């Protein structure tokens, strides 16, 4: 059940003054991290007439915003220019300016270490930068996904080093991002915002920030509760995807099409929610966030067997795909992976986005090449593979041009990401062999005798 919010008359004086500015849309909102979470949040606020100052350590992003130019394909340059040219939305790499905003929203990455432990270095460095310039009356809201307790145990002590007390002099809350890149139905403006804080004034102020663009807020009792909400959402998806991935492998052995099973099962109007298999988990949330709770649970001497098992199933999917491709090559051509020419279709982690974070496609390339295959890729969203922390050796590789004659020259095409705009009918007609992990060729309306589901 949502929490009731404190009235202005019951707030500390500094909180009441900030609430007035938020309601009048005269407050300046700072957004730290202008990526897939911070940029849409900044645009949504600015489009509602709220002044936004963005911060990013990459100087190219503030430069692009000043020029009214996009750097993420899901957001048009026109949309950025419409709020940056009037000056409603501006950006900087100068962290000395963190004293200027009345509200600071933290939208920085929270990855894992190689040992599957939380890496809060981006959060702690950001908090230290804020603390060095923190002034009375500011509100800080963490949006980055993390384990329950981070806001209180990590962020608050750093901010209070300057001698300011959270809940009295400055204000602190947690409101998890709920972005779904590429989703045109549910956007930043329409997705409800869960808001948690450990004092009533901070909670009310944070709700006012998101309500300033017309958003619906869902206040909860503490920051830790809000942190738990986000991690629960992502664990729910990870576990159900693991389940359907495991069912896919079982049903394939039985000669049953998992996609047909799901399509029929989802006609039940209650008690079933469709999840779909794939070549592995990607993105900034689902492959990572469950391990944050697994790590934190150890502090309470609790074993998260269910969550860890789901992680093992999902992490093993690229190996399953490689084995399926090897079997398909052997069955059709009596040929192994060693020396085979493979075209991997799609390297983004999901369709229709220019987002490579945790993409299983990158792991597939590395695994196939380790077995001696020659691998090229095609992805209209990635003409060149950028530098990534985990797959540095792949940086700089270029997508092939999409031609049917080129496709026919490969031993197999492996569909890893099912972008719209691809002519799957032509692909099925010209490729020697298609191994499809996304059921992308289901509606190709052509001879599918050379298509193998994996």
* Whether the predicted pLDDT of 430 surpasses 70: yes
Per-residue confidence at 12, pLDDT binned at 50, 70, 90? confident
DSSP 8-state code for residue 153 = I
Query: Which of 79-83, 233-237, 439-443 is predicted least confidently?
Result: 439-443
Q: Are 365 and 344 in contact (CB under 8 A)?
A: yes
Full-model pTM: 0.92
Q: Which two tokens stand for residue 215?
A: 């958003």
Residues 151-188 have pLDDT tens digits of: 999 999 999 998 999 999 999 999 999 998 888 889 99
Question: d(Cα 152, Cα 388) in Å, to the nearest integer?
Answer: 31
- How confident is the model at residue 298, as a pLDDT? 94
- Sorted by sequence, the CB contacts under 8 Å of residue 292 that are 6+ apart come out as 110, 118, 145, 146, 147, 231
Does the CA dihedral 384-387-391-394 come out positive or negative? positive
* Whether the predicted pLDDT of 144 surpasses 50: yes
For 145, 194, 202, 340, the CA distances from 223, given in Å and listed in that order, are 12, 10, 10, 53
* Whether the predicted pLDDT of 448 surpasses 90: no
Q: Higher-confidence residue: 442 or 100?
A: 100
- How confident is the model at residue 162, as a pLDDT? 82
Q: Which two tokens stand for residue 303?
A: 């074993």
Question: d(Cα 147, Cα 221) in Å, to the nearest integer?
Answer: 16
Per-residue confidence at 15, pLDDT binned at 50, 70, 90? very high
- How confident is the model at residue 1, as a pLDDT? 46
Q: Which two tokens stand for residue 45?
A: 């606020």
- Known active-site residue 441: no
- Catalytic residue, chosen from 166, 207, 285, 441, is 285
Mean pLDDT, the chain, rounded, equals 95
Residues 352-392 have pLDDT tens digits of: 999 999 999 999 999 999 999 999 999 999 999 999 888 99
Q: Convert 212-242 to b/e letters by CB count within 10 Å (16 or more is b).
A: bbebebbbbebbbbbbbbbbebbbebbbebb
Burial class, 414, CB count within 10 angstroms (exposed 0-12 / middle 13-18 / buried 19+): buried
Domains, the chain, in order of start with CATH, read 8-222 (3.40.50.720), 255-284+316-453 (3.40.50.720)
Per-residue confidence at 285, pLDDT binned at 50, 70, 90? confident
């Amino acid at each position: 059940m949502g929490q009731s919010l404190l009235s202005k008359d019951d707030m500390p004086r500094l909180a009441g003054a900030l609430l007035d500015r938020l309601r009048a849309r005269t407050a300046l909102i700072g957004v730290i991290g202008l990526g897939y979470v911070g940029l849409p949040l900044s645009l949504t606020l600015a489009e509602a007439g709220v002044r936004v100052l963005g911060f990013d350590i990459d100087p190219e992003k503030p430069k692009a915003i000043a020029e009214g130019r996009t750097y993420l394909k899901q957001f048009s340059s026109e949309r950025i220019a419409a709020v940056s040219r009037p000056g409603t939305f501006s950006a900087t790499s100068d962290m000395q300016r963190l004293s200027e905003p009345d509200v600071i929203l933290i939208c920085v990455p929270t990855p894992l270490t190689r040992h599957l432990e939380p890496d809060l270095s981006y959060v702690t460095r950001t908090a230290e930068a804020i603390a060095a310039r923190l002034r009375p009356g500011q509100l800080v809201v963490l949006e980055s996904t993390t384990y329950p307790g981070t806001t209180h145990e990590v962020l608050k002590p750093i901010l209070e080093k300057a001698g300011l007390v959270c809940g009295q002099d400055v204000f602190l809350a947690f409101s998890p991002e709920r972005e779904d890149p590429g989703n045109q139905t549910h956007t930043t403006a329409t997705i409800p915002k869960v808001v948690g804080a450990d004092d009533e004034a901070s909670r009310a102020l944070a709700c006012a920030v998101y309500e300033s663009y017309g958003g619906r807020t869902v206040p909860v009792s503490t920051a830790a509760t809000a942190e738990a909400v986000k991690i629960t959402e992502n664990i729910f998806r990870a576990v159900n995807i693991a389940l359907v991935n495991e069912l896919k492998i079982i049903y394939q052995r039985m000669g049953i099409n998992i996609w047909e099973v799901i399509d029929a099962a989802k006609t039940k109007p209650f008690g079933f929610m469709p999840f779909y298999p794939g070549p592995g988990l990607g993105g900034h949330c689902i492959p990572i966030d469950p391990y944050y709770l697994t790590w934190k649970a150890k502090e309470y001497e609790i074993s998260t067997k269910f969550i860890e098992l789901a992680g093992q199933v999902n992490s093993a999917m690229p190996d399953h795909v490689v084995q399926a491709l090897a079997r398909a090559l052997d069955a059709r051509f009596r040929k192994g992976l060693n020396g085979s020419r493979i075209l991997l279709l799609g390297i983004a982690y999901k369709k229709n986005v220019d987002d490579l974070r945790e993409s299983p496609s990158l792991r597939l390339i590395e695994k196939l090449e380790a077995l001696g295959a020659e691998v090229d890729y095609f992805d209209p969203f990635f003409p060149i593979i950028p530098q990534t922390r985990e797959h540095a050796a792949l940086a700089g590789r270029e997508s092939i041009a999409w031609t049917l004659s080129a496709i026919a020259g490969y031993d197999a095409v492996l569909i890893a990401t099912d972008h719209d705009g691809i002519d799957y009918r032509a692909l099925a007609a010209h490729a020697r062999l298609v191994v499809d992990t996304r059921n992308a060729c289901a509606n190709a309306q052509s001879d599918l005798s050379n298509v193998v589901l994996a």
